[in-house]
Amino acid sequence: MDGLPPVNFRAELNAEQYAAVTSPRGPALVLAGAGSGKTRTLTYRVAWLLHQGVKPWDILLLTFTNKSAKEMLERVEDLTGVPRGQFWGGTFHSIGQRILRRHAAIVNRSPDFTILDQKESEQLFSGIIKEADGAFIKDKTNPKAPVILDAYSHARNTLRPVEEVLRERLDWMKGGSEKCLRFCEAYESAKKERNVCDFDDLLVLWLKLLETDGNVLEHYRRRFQYLLVDEFQDTNRLQSKIIDLLAAEHQIMAVGDDAQCIYTWRGADWENIVTFPQRHPHTQIYTINTNYRSTPEILAFANEILSHRPAVDGFDRHLQAVRHSGNKPVVFNVGDTSQQAKIVGRKILQLHQEGHPLSEMHILYRAHYQSLELQMELNALGIPFVITSGHKFFDLIHVKDVLAHLRVIHNPNDQVALSRLLCLLPKVGPVAADKIIRAAQEVSLQQGRGLIRALRDSAVLKKVTEIAKDDFQDLTITLEDMLEGIENAQQKAPPASPA
The CATH number covering residue 85 comes to 3.40.50.300
**Which residue, among 468, 420, 467, 418, has the nearest Cα to 438 in the 3D structure?**
418
As beta bridge partners, residue 287 has 31
| Residue 319, burial from CB neighbour count under 10 angstroms (0-12, 13-18, 19+) | buried
Indicate whether 320 belongs to any domain.
no
Q: Which amino acid type is present at position 446?
A: Q
Residue 366 scores a pLDDT above 60: yes
Q: Of all residues in the chain, what percent carry a pLDDT higher than 70? A: 95
> Among 168, 194, 220, which residue terminates a domain?
194
Q: Are 208 and 187 in a shared domain?
A: no
Same domain, 281 and 419: no
Dump strand ranges (E) for 394-499.
none
Task: Count Cβ neighbours within 10 Å for each residue of 473-482 and write b for 16 or more, e otherwise.
Answer: eebbeebbeb
- Tell whether 464 is covered by a domain: yes
Q: Note the pLDDT tens digit of each residue in 394-418.
A: 677 888 999 999 999 999 889 999 9
- Do residues 211 and 278 both lie within one domain? yes
217 shares a domain with 179: no
pLDDT at residue 65 in the model: 85
**pLDDT digits 0-9 by tens, 14-35:** 999 999 999 998 999 999 977 8
Does one domain contain both 443 and 360?
Answer: no
From residue 14, give the alpha-carbon distance in Å to each of 7, 18, 78, 197: 14, 6, 20, 44
Question: Within this chain, do residues 81 and 222 fall inside the same structural domain, yes or no?
Answer: yes
Residue 311: pLDDT over 70: no
Closest CA to 61 of 200, 225, 222: 225
Let me know if residue 268 belongs to a domain.
yes
The mean pLDDT value for 152-175 works out to 89
Q: Does a structural domain hold residue 495?
A: no
pLDDT confidence bin for 243, thresholds 50/70/90: very high
Out of 166, 194, 222, a domain closes at 194
Mean pLDDT of 355-381: 89
- What would the pLDDT profile of 76-120 be if each residue is shown by its tens digit? 999 999 999 999 999 999 999 999 999 999 999 999 999 999 999
Inform me whether the pLDDT recorded for 497 exceeds 60. Answer: no
pLDDT for position 387: 83
pLDDT band at 495 (very low <50, low <70, confident <90, very high): low
User: For residue 354, what are the domain limits?
Assistant: 337-380
- Within a domain: residue 123? yes
Given the DSSP bridges, would you call strands 252-256 and 226-229 parallel, antiparallel or unpaired?
parallel
Do 38 and 186 fall into the same domain? no
Listed residues 254, 288, 322: the one ending a domain: 288
The residue count of the chain comes to 499
**Do residue 404 and residue 425 come from a single domain?**
yes
Do 240 and 183 fall into the same domain?
no
Q: Model-level pTM?
A: 0.77
* DSSP H stretches of helix in 296-364: 296-306, 337-353
State yes or no: pLDDT of 313 exceeds 90: no
* Mean pLDDT for the stretch of residues 485-495: 80
Amino acid at 28: A
Q: Residue 499 pLDDT > 60, yes or no?
A: no
Whether residue 153 is found in the same domain as residue 273: no
pLDDT for residue 314? 64
Taking phi over 0 as left and psi of -120 to 50 as alpha, with beta for the rest, 81 belongs to left
For residue 242, give the 3-state DSSP assignment: helix
* pLDDT on residue 304: 87
401 and 481 belong to one structural domain: yes
3-state secondary structure at position 59: strand
Which residue type is seen at 205?
A: L
Any domain includes 216: yes
* Alpha-helix residue ranges (DSSP H) falling in 199-248: 199-212, 214-223, 237-246
Backbone angles phi, psi at 86, to 5 degrees: -85, -10
Domains contained in the chain, number: 4
pLDDT computed for residue 433 by the predictor: 94
* Within-domain flag for 308: no
Does residue 302 lie within any of the structural domains?
Answer: no
Q: Could you report the per-residue pLDDT of 135-151, keeping only the tens digit for each? A: 888 887 888 999 999 99
Q: Are residues 211 and 182 in the same domain?
A: no
Confidence at 227, pLDDT banded by 50, 70, 90: very high
pLDDT at 389: 73
Of 108-117, 172-181, 354-363, where does mean pLDDT reach its minimum? 172-181
